[in-house]
Amino acid sequence: MTGQTLTPSSCGALRIEQLVKQYRPGQPVLKSISFAVQGTGLTSIIGPSGTGKSTLIRCINRLVDPTSGKIMLQADGQAVDMAQLKGADLRRARRRIGMVFQEYNLVERLTVMENVLTGRLGYLSAWRAWRRKFDEADIQQAFELLQVVGLATFASQRADALSGGQRQRVGIARALMQQPALLLADEPTSSLDPKTSVEIIQLLHEQGVRRGIPVMVNIHDVELARRYSSRIIGMTGGHVVFDGAPGELTDEHLNTIYGGRAWLN
């Protein structure tokens, strides 16, 4: 771990109020979701397939437009309602939300360094972004982040030459390059082996705590979620049915979340 510089303004918080999303009229996928998260550790969202976990994450960063409700993001001492923002205001707020994807979403033909630097594109003028003209400070920060994620010696390698675990580390460095006030990850370990999955979840946890920003992760591996989260949110049928510490999550809760018991042993 390097002594990477962090601005106090990185700290963030998120409060969701009565969030509803329906893709088709009259068929809500998220049915009035409310919770708040601070930058105090990893929050894992668990729940069966199709219950709306990705929809929730995507509403927060506005890859999907919510139908109603509030998504209050606190950054730089100001709170904005992500659900209401448009145009330049939305772009400005979105650059403070780092996103880590299941399939990494790297530009394969670019180097590791170039991929990390793309996390900064939202901060450049259109002209600079088009020319990919990054400041020295950005390049310095990207190097520091590559050290943080353990890939300093891979800076000039092309992304398509990396393993899945290494790609996800690049994905995390790119998200951190945004100086996020909030970090979201949609099944970041689903394509990785168990040991690499643990390392990736630990890295997300560590960075969230270090920066004082909320980290929310959609995850199917309940044991992994239990081991590394400070909080678990269990969803089923578009509702939050559990919200608490990992130690409070009982088999009964898992039964409520996933239904049936056969898989519990």
Least distance CB 257 / ligand ATP (angstroms): 11
Stretch that binds ligand ATP, among 42-50, 132-140, 155-163, 172-180 (CB under 6 A): 42-50
| Number of neighbouring beta carbons within 10 Å of residue 246 | 17
Q: Provide the minimum distance between the beta carbon of 22 and ligand ATP in the complex, in angstroms, as a whole number.
A: 9
| Residue 104 and residue 169 in contact, taking contact as beta carbons nearer than 8 Å | no
The entry of Mg ion, ligand ATP, none that residue 50 binds, CB within 5 to 8 Å by partner kind: ligand ATP
Q: Which of 13, 14, 19, 29 binds ligand ATP (CB under 6 A)?
A: 29
User: Does 194 interact with ligand ATP (rule: CB under 6 A)?
Assistant: no
In the complex, what is the shortest distance from the CB of residue 55 to ligand ATP, in angstroms, rounded to a whole number?
3
Q: Is 169 in the site for ligand ATP (CB under 6 A)?
A: no
In the numeric block, the tokens 């950054």 are attached to 75
Nearest to 30 by CA among 38, 39, 20, 40: 20
**Cβ proximity to Mg ion, 168 vs 179, nearer residue:** 168
Tell me if 102 sits within 8 A of 43, measured CB to CB: no
Is there binding between residue 259 and ligand ATP (CB under 6 A)?
no
Binding track over 47-66 against ligand ATP, x by CB under 6 A: x-xxxxxxx-----------
Q: CA nearest 133: which of 121, 146, 119, 142? A: 121
Closest approach, Cβ 63 to Mg ion, in A, equals 12
| Contact partner, 12, from ligand ATP, Mg ion, none, Cβ < 5-8 Å per class | none
Q: Tell me if 43 sits within 8 A of 215, measured CB to CB.
A: yes
- Minimal distance, residue 144 CB to ligand ATP, in Å: 33
Instruction: Check binding of 54 to Mg ion (CB under 5 A).
Output: yes
Nearest to 229 by CA among 216, 239, 220: 216
> Taking the complex as a whole, how short is the minimal distance between the CB of residue 249 and ligand ATP, in angstroms?
18
- How many other C-beta atoms are found inside a 10 Å radius of the C-beta of residue 63? 14
- What would the DSSP string read from start to end of 102-151? TT----TTSBHHHHHHGGGGGGS-HHHHHHT---HHHHHHHHHHHHHTT-
Q: Residue 13 pairs with which residues in a beta bridge?
A: 38, 74
The option from ligand ATP, Mg ion, none interacting with 263 (CB < 5 to 8 A, set by class) reads none
Q: Does 263 bind ligand ATP (CB under 6 A)?
A: no
Which positions lie near ligand ATP, rule CB under 6 A? 23, 29, 47, 49-55
